[in-house]
Amino acid sequence: MIQNIKLKEKKDIARDTTAFYFEKPEGFEFRAGQFGDYTLIDPPETDDEGNTRGFSLITAPYEDKIGLASRMRDTAFKRVLKDLPLGTEVKLDAPYGDYTLHKTETTPAVFLIGGIGVTPVRSIVAQATHDKSPIKITLIHANRTPDDAPFMADFERLAEENPNFTFIPVATKSAPDDWAGERGHIDADMIRRHVDDLNKPIFYLSGPEGLVKAMRQLLVEIGANEDNIRTEEFTGY
């Protein structure tokens, strides 16, 4: 479905990272974890990559707005997006993709995520919490520092609300002394500390291609079944 949607709100959610919320069009339906292609309409500047980018939908289907979040790099698309006045319309072609939570309630889900790759996970965990899903969900989310971690407060709140959701933030570079999360890169030992049986869960990996590939390789090396790995690569990063 292609339609114009109006920008309602911009919110900085981590260092150099902004969430953009739009009016949800009447009758727009999607599954948590899906993405859309956003096109800027008559932007004041453009470049070779054009005026369209894919972004995961960060809100859950039950919520009354839709949104995207991005690291605000200095590209024509993102400069225009950043300065877009509230009320401006963009074109949304959505929903697409099948990076959605599995159905089998006894199978746990483990998300191994770096940085901005967490966008579809925000939608999935928010919807699962709303639905009181019995699926056990673990999110291991790595960022350089806590200030770089998008949706940190959201995930902390969701972990309090949802007894089946475990949130493990990871600081790869530095964190304050009282940091309760993990430190260092996601590696075999860290995964084993939080996942009892590597053969039980479905693993979900999303984000820039390099990170997704590295996580997949790590999982295969430590003996996870490749059939149980689902991915969403943010091609273009």
Interface with ligand FAD, residue 56, by CB under 6 A:
yes
CA distances from 71 to 82, 115, 157, 163 (A): 11, 9, 23, 30
In angstroms, what is the minimal distance from the CB of 82 to ligand FAD?
A: 11
Interface with ligand FAD, residue 34, by CB under 6 A:
no
Q: Which burial class, exposed, middle or buried, applies to 123 when counting CB atoms under 10 A from its CB (0-12, 13-18, 19+)?
A: buried
In angstroms, what is the minimal distance from the CB of 96 to ligand FAD?
A: 7
DSSP-based three-state secondary structure for 207: strand
> Number of H helices and number of E strands within the chain?
5, 12
- By beta-carbon proximity to ligand FAD, the closer residue of 36 and 201 is 36
Q: How many residues bind ligand FAD (CB under 6 A)?
A: 23
In the range 102-141, which residues lie near ligand FAD by CB under 6 A?
A: 116, 119
Interface with ligand FAD, residue 54, by CB under 6 A:
yes
**Residue for token digits 């839709």?**
66
Interface with ligand FAD, residue 70, by CB under 6 A:
yes
CB atoms within 10 A of CB 85: 7
Only segment of 51-59, 160-168, 179-187, 197-205 that touches ligand FAD (CB under 6 A): 51-59
Indicate the Cα dihedral angle 182, 144, 154, 87, nearest 10°: -170
Only segment of 69-77, 124-132, 186-194, 195-203 that touches ligand FAD (CB under 6 A): 69-77
Q: Which two tokens stand for residue 201?
A: 């869960």
Rounded distance between C-alpha atoms, residue 52 and residue 91, angstroms: 9
- By beta-carbon proximity to ligand FAD, the closer residue of 31 and 200 is 31
State the residues that interact with ligand FAD by CB under 6 A.
35, 49, 53-56, 68-71, 73-75, 77-78, 97, 116, 119, 232, 234-237
